[in-house]
Amino acid sequence: MSEALDSKAIEELRQIAGRYPQARSGLLPMLHLVQSVQGRITPEGIETCAEILGISAAEVSGVATFYTMYKRRPVGDYHVGVCTNTLCAVMGGDAIFERLKDHLGVGNDEVADERAGDKATVSLEHVECNAACDFAPVVMVNWEFMDNQTPESATQLVDDLRAGTPVQSTRGPRLCTWREAERVLAGFEDGLADEGPAAGPASLVGLEIAREQGWTAPATAPGKGE
């Protein structure tokens, strides 16, 4: 059963809405805050967002059901997304997803049963392109990158997460829980923004070649691109 939205959460929802010239523009981060508190998008969360924004619950529900990042069912402490779009798939993403389904005993968008000794729960989802094709195949955990994965490394990853072993993302901070990550997406800092590298070598190859060759972007013609 989900926790109720307390007075602190409601005040923070109002704070998010107040950041925007048009309050309804704050709906996406507001829904992330609901998930950080309740673990998913609940009827209470939908009604509360609608009331604060002065829109209908149907409008809020339409947004919450359109984007796959908003969940109507609980997810694990660590939500593992395996990219199965074209490049990641042919580089091994499909094999990783199948291995993790077998290893965890779950289907798509399901939470693995807790085992004796587990300190955290894990859920699994196949996701569309993460815009990280230069590091394919890519796995994400609570929206942080785990690059150049294999079935073996991905299996070790979920085992470490379930055991409570600290894990560092390959291009970002140490992994936090699903609810902590959702609070960050709602716009509340966790102090980890500068932890870990922001870009990996594969992403910078084009820049390095351009520097070696002395290439620069063409000048913008007057009146264009302004």
pLDDT of residue 117: 87
Residue pLDDT, tens place only, 22-74:
999 999 999 999 999 999 999 999 999 999 999 999 999 999 999 999 999 99
Work out the angle at residue 41's Cα, subtended by the Cα atoms of residues 38 and 44, and round it to the nearest 5 degrees. 75
DSSP code, position 176: -
Helical axes 43-53 vs 27-38, angle rounded to 10°:
150
CA distance 142 to 192: 14
DSSP code, position 220: P
pLDDT of residue 58: 98
- Strands, DSSP E only, in the chain? 78-83, 110-111, 122-127, 139-141, 144-146
pLDDT of residue 193: 73
pTM of the model: 0.86
pLDDT of residue 41: 97
Q: Which amino acid is at 99?
A: R
Q: Which amino acid is at 78?
A: Y
CA distance 150 to 49: 41
Walk along the chain (226 residues) and give the pLDDT tens digit of each residue: 568 899 999 999 999 999 999 999 999 999 999 999 999 999 999 999 999 999 999 999 999 999 999 999 999 999 999 999 999 999 999 999 999 999 999 999 999 998 888 999 999 999 988 888 999 999 999 999 999 999 999 999 999 999 999 999 998 889 999 999 999 999 998 877 777 776 778 888 888 899 999 999 888 766 665 5
Q: Write down all domains in the chain, each with its CATH number in brackets.
A: 7-66 (1.10.10), 78-176 (3.40.30.10)
Cis ω before 222 (30° cut-off from 0): no
**HSE-CB of 162 using CA atoms within 13 angstroms:** 21
pLDDT of residue 136: 94
